[in-house]
Amino acid sequence: FSGFSSFNLGQLPIIINSLSLVDTIGLLPTGSGKSLCYQLACLLQPAISFVVVPIKSLMYDQKYNLDKKGIVHTNFVSSDQTAEQKEKI
């Protein structure tokens, strides 16, 4: 991602474990970059990735910010969508 020159404490081990297919739970404080950990791991995988985000506003914000960075092959499913919208996704 442009604008990043280094990882925050704890991010790199999470990313490395994820890319090494090691089951990983990443516990980091709020604002320490958990989203980057799973977004980068997803981008570097040669597969479709699913991320479960329990907060709707976070899903909307992350989709918006990824789109702004040119990462546009993303989407989300939430209870706000109709059955037809979910089926299309």
Residue 74 is classified by DSSP as: -
Q: Give the residue from 40, 54, 55, 51 showing the smallest Cα distance to 8.
A: 40
Q: Give the residue from 75, 1, 81 showing the smallest Cα distance to 36.
A: 1
- Encode burial over 37-47: b for 16+ CB neighbours within 10 A, e otherwise: bbbbbbeeeee
Whole-model pTM over 0.85: no
Q: How far apart, in whole angstroms, are the C-alpha atoms of residue 81 and residue 32?
A: 30
pLDDT along the chain (89 residues), means of 10: 81 95 92 90 88 88 92 92 94
